[in-house]
Chain A
């Protein structure tokens, strides 16, 4: 029995796999249940959004980019609107800025709730999934009463927002915010101190600061490694410099830290929305902007925002007197996270693949675009 011959074997995980959050495929080289090598295969969700944008006017790009990262459509709207406004020097009215922040932060909470639900589901805890979606439903109702949409909002437009909020929005939002912290407490009660949950997450998928920086990891995944970097504070856009909020960080960069950071971020986002509702001024909701005749001046720029997954950016190149952008390049943070993942996975068990993938909050539209 001394020389029992063993062999590595290859498991193809995905693209049709319930826990790869879309259509990611992993080619895993396994030694028993231990991962020797992991190789992500992407491209199953490529929609050529960047090319499509070259054939649309600036205003038409926004509904297209709704599909860029559909868990946080508001951010996609915002990042493109921001780039166009910078390019053309459009001033956005106060009220529109506040409405944007309210929507962006609510959308961040909704996105984190999806993450919470799917993470717990991937780890085999069925119940938090439905709790999270119950609260997400409230947020989607708010969006629906504002812009009529629940997933692809097309709400934040170049120059402002599409519509003012209806009268019943503020009371409903306040009601939601007044109970939301307790709801987060509820989720934490089920998961945070649960020994099985801790065992599945602590010291799993540890990402070092060097690795994170080398791969351009951003957002909660970066903050979980202990680097306090948040574009809302470090490169403020819109009116984020007016709000008080903490930037939660972790220490080890493992799955558990990422979980703690995101849970904390939901509370912080709720804090921002409360302040924004408090300070919401009256006034115009959009700058003078005619989408039919709008022509951007020649130039190129990169604008970036902090969306729920990390740095979301858009690079625009424009020609003078043209209605359409010459080039559009999108930056999705999940792409970087997915590239860093194989380094994190080596030596873990196959069950950890789903735990790590879920905790990095990778979604495929963000990767493939």
Chain B
């Protein structure tokens, strides 16, 4: 039933979440630079504001004032569209992620989720796979070979990993018997009910695939600065580049939020308010991303494909079969 209260509450939630995710993206870059800096015996950004906290703002201003270059051989319309196509899906997936328990304000029951879709997980997978179009179109329309190679690589990579990515959570769904994110969190009320303990293999597979899906090190093939000089976004500058950049980080945050929700008990936790627990878990997973980046070299493209098809895919299938046998027989 749609009431005025519902509309107002939804609008507020949307604004809060969008602002939070965008701020999160900005400070994810700061977190990454700081953490990698400390891993590498450096200090990281420390001049703009206390602890370099204003660095993301400085970066954003710098990017905004850069010249927006469109290569002569680019296909202009597609070239302009691609960053938007990459950016929007990253934001959209946050619509179904529950970041807290239901609360009551002025007699209104308010779910701390923008929309409790009953096919939440399916929605997330559908939306995140749209992101690949942005990258492919960017690579294609730039009119540069490096970009094209980067675009082709990433489309192949993301499509290959999509399969293992999707299969890896089927185990969870078999146990939970629901696709709603809110329901999933509710089923993980006890610490040992977290799906990371009930589906350890599924968790590992999901994390590996998620890193590949978000094009992060060690699977940052499409970007591979030392080989392709930046891959699909080689030709982009200014705010268009910023869109790819924010899109990548928004994707990381989305994945961190999805992992938190599906495997790490969502917002559940003692003492602290649910939203805080949710943020802590997302933060820890983001730090894990950065840690991996600071440690591992990059995998080669064909090795990446081998890993996806010959290792992760069969393992994910096995996981599904075993889970089905144990829980549903």
Pick from A11, A134, A200, A350: contact of B297, CB under 8 Å: A200
Query: Could you tell me the distance in whole angstroms from the C-beta of B262 to the nearest C-beta in chain A?
Result: 27
Pick from A33, A196, A354: contact of B299, CB under 8 Å: A196
Are A127 and B300 touching (Cβ within 8 A)? no
Chain A 115-136 per-residue mask, 1 if CB under 8 angstroms from chain B, else 0:
0000011111111011100100
Are B224 and A127 touching (Cβ within 8 A)? no
Residue of B220, B297, B298, B303 ringed by the most chain A CB atoms within 10 A: B297
Q: What is the bound-complex CA distance between A117 and B296, given in angstroms?
A: 14
Chain A 225-243 per-residue mask, 1 if CB under 8 angstroms from chain B, else 0:
0000000000000000000
Are A125 and B296 touching (Cβ within 8 A)? yes
A45 within 8 A of B: no
Pick from A122, A130, A196, A199: contact of B40, CB under 8 Å: A130
Are B40 and A126 touching (Cβ within 8 A)? yes
Known: A131-B41, A350-B149. A197 touches B297 (CB 8 A): yes
B109 within 8 A of A: no
A88 within 8 A of B: no
Q: What is the bound-complex CA distance between A274 and B157, given in angstroms?
A: 50
Q: What is the bound-complex CA distance between A197 and B303, given in angstroms?
A: 12
Q: What is the bound-complex CA distance between A130 and B217, given in angstroms?
A: 18
Are A194 and B297 touching (Cβ within 8 A)? yes
Are B299 and A17 touching (Cβ within 8 A)? no
When distances are taken between beta carbons in the complex, the residues of chain A under 8 Å from B218 are 124, 196
Are B297 and A120 touching (Cβ within 8 A)? yes
Are B295 and A11 touching (Cβ within 8 A)? no
Are B301 and A351 touching (Cβ within 8 A)? yes
Are A11 and B145 touching (Cβ within 8 A)? yes
When distances are taken between beta carbons in the complex, the residues of chain A under 8 Å from B302 are 33, 349
When distances are taken between beta carbons in the complex, the residues of chain A under 8 Å from B149 are 11, 33, 350
List CB contacts (< 8 Å) of B19-71 with chain A.
Answer: 36, 39-42
Chain A residue, CB-CB nearest to B293: A126
When distances are taken between beta carbons in the complex, the residues of chain B under 8 Å from A299 are none
Are A127 and B294 touching (Cβ within 8 A)? yes
B130 within 8 A of A: no
Chain A residue, CB-CB nearest to B300: A351
Known: A17-B229, A126-B40. A196 touches B145 (CB 8 A): no
Residue of A123, A134, A190 ringed by the most chain B CB atoms within 10 A: A123
Are A200 and B294 touching (Cβ within 8 A)? no
Are B298 and A196 touching (Cβ within 8 A)? yes
Are B301 and A33 touching (Cβ within 8 A)? yes
Are A351 and B296 touching (Cβ within 8 A)? no
Known: A33-B302, A127-B39, A131-B41. A196 touches B226 (CB 8 A): no
Chain B residue, CB-CB nearest to A9: B145
A54 within 8 A of B: no
* 24 A-B residue pairings within 8 Å (CB atoms): A11-B149, A17-B229, A18-B225, A18-B229, A19-B227, A33-B149, A33-B301, A124-B217, A124-B220, A124-B296, A126-B40, A127-B39, A130-B40, A190-B295, A196-B218, A196-B297, A197-B297, A199-B300, A199-B303, A200-B299, A350-B149, A350-B227, A351-B227, A353-B227
Q: Which residues of A contact B (CB under 8 A)?
A: 9, 11, 17-19, 33, 120-127, 129-131, 134, 190-191, 194, 196-197, 199-200, 349-354
> Assuming A33-B301, A124-B297, A130-B42, what are 15 further A-B pairs, CB within 8 angstroms?
A11-B149, A18-B225, A18-B226, A33-B302, A120-B297, A124-B218, A124-B226, A125-B297, A127-B294, A196-B299, A197-B297, A199-B299, A200-B299, A349-B300, A351-B224
The 4 closest A-B pairs by CB, nearest first: A124-B298, A125-B297, A130-B40, A123-B297
